[in-house]
Amino acid sequence: MKRKDFLKLTGTVATGLALSGNTLTAVASPYNGLMTVLRGGKTFYQNKWQTLDIGIDASGKLKIGVLNSLTAPEVIDTTGKIVSPGFIDILADNTANPEKTYTIFEKYKVADGVTTALQMHGGSPDTAAYYRKFGAVPHVINYGVSTFVMRVRYRTNSLAERKKQVEKCLEEGALGVSHSIEYQPTPYEEVMEYAKLAKKYDRPLFLHLRYSSSADELNGVEEAIRLARESGARVHIDHLHSTGGTFHMEEALRKIKSANAQDVKMTCCVYPYSFWATYLHSTRFGDGWQQRYGITYNDLRLVGTGERLTKESFAKYKEMRKLVAVPEGTLPLDKTVDLALKEDFCMIGSDGGIEYAAQANSHPRGAGCFSTSIRHCLDIGMPLEKALDKVTTMQHHLISPALKDRGIIADGAWADLTVFDSTRIKARATVENPNQFSDGIDVVYVNGKVAFKNGKLLNSNGVGIKY
């Protein structure tokens, strides 16, 4: 697979056609190929807020003009709204059973303003097979995967075999290398070999750090920095506030900032929730979890119902491999997320995805991370343009060159756009009911086509489908 094919696109746009409601109609040529113009909204363009004409051509690309300068068969008034690049989720999570769950997963992503969801916390141990399979089915949003080292290690016994498979995935188009060394402890020397491969192919290494306890978490941050320094790879720390900076965020950020000042290439992400959630059968709930996190059975909530656990139900749900949430405030935002968001190396990543329509058992960040992020950034006084940078432009730079035409508004870039109301945007998803669309998202374009509008999901042909 060629580098240009890393990012899979969602269908094609018929040349010479334009949307008219849910009907496709032929158009003549006086519009210079433009099918749609968004007019009157505010866009952060060339480092300042402007009111522009945002044109979408027949190939799904953008044309930018001053107000009232572009013409098209469809002109949409976006006055009072923000026209932003589509949000990019680098830490989308749908690796458990994606073949059966991807349509539900994508539905809740696009309803949260996400136009590209990349699985960089997991991904696939066989990139070519993954892309063949998922390239044969329709998608609502753009997608891509990393090399899933944990599963590579399950399949192979020797380091030589593991390195060969990881490199094969990179050759086949994997967007990076991902490993979770808390969930699957791995010797430093072996992780270094994966970092060297990431460097060789100029892809990022995504790490879920080794420790989540107060006593050891900074050791995990130092290990990530050492990997970046010794390998030369770009290293990204997954959800720093839940693994690495839960108890010592200020110090963790100082270490990363100092490393970057020495030309070490480090980034991280957070999600704006004051609690984490994970599966009961995971390492996090191994022996000593009550002492490690200062919580007990009744503090845990079953995601999808909010049921409080007991010792007996803990054992039952562990056997069922259920996901539970720890109490709100476990990750105090003012001492963790808010500090990280001030740094120019920290962006947003959900670490979530909705996988089941009924009996949902997914953290609400799977449906509401990006609306929650924008709302929270505004609530703590962050300028909107900086908040948008953390859900669009930073991802554009991190996943390069695959996203060179994503996450930006520029002539010739892909028309992935999220139009939203900055006064209304917020998530509705909760622990009790995570399967809820966000508020304030008016319309989402993916590759120039309407994918979500007025609370309804549309397929690649603009035809409404049930959800």
Percent of the chain residues topping a pLDDT of 70: 91
Query: Backbone phi, then psi, for 49, in 5-degree steps?
Result: -75, 130
Instruction: Output the pLDDT for position 297.
Output: 95
Q: What is the pLDDT of residues 405-453, one digit of tens each?
A: 999 999 999 999 999 999 999 999 998 899 999 999 999 999 999 999 9
- Say yes or no: 220 and 362 in one domain: yes
- Say yes or no: 292 and 205 in one domain: no
Instruction: Output the pLDDT for position 100.
Output: 87
**What separation in angstroms does the CA of 313 have from each of 288, 304, 431?**
18, 15, 18
Of 330, 348, 375, the domain-final residue = 330
pLDDT at 260 over 70: yes
Instruction: Output the pLDDT for position 460.
Output: 55
- Say yes or no: 162 and 13 in one domain: no
Q: What is the pLDDT of residues 178-221, one digit of tens each?
A: 999 999 999 999 999 999 999 999 999 999 999 999 999 999 99
> Average pLDDT, whole number, for the chain?
90
- Say yes or no: 191 and 208 in one domain: yes
- Say yes or no: 283 and 263 in one domain: no
- Say yes or no: 325 and 342 in one domain: no
| CB atoms inside a 10 Å sphere around CB 1 | 15
- Say yes or no: 295 and 377 in one domain: no
- Say yes or no: 323 and 370 in one domain: no
pLDDT at 318 over 70: yes
Q: What is the pLDDT of residues 359-383, one digit of tens each?
A: 677 889 999 999 999 999 999 999 9
Q: Which residues contact 308 (CB under 8 A, 6 or more apart)?
A: 298, 299, 300, 301
3-state secondary structure of 297: helix
Confidence of residue 459 (pLDDT cuts 50, 70, 90): low
Answer for the pair 69, 53: CB distance below 8 angstroms, yes or no: yes
Instruction: Output the pLDDT for position 31.
Output: 66
CA 101 to CA 303: how far, in whole Å?
Answer: 17
Residue 406: alpha-carbon gap to chain centroid: 13
Rg (CA), the chain: 22
Q: What is the mean pLDDT of residues 80-109?
A: 92
Answer for the pair 73, 35: CB distance below 8 angstroms, yes or no: yes
The owner of tokens 């965020």 is 249
- Say yes or no: 177 and 38 in one domain: no
- Say yes or no: 113 and 253 in one domain: yes
- Domain holding 294, by residue range, is 275-330
List, as one string, the DSSP characters of 45-88: ETTEEEEEEEEEETTSBEEEEETT----SEEEE-TTSEEEEPEE
**CATH number, domain containing residue 437:** 2.30.40.10
Number of domains within the chain: 3
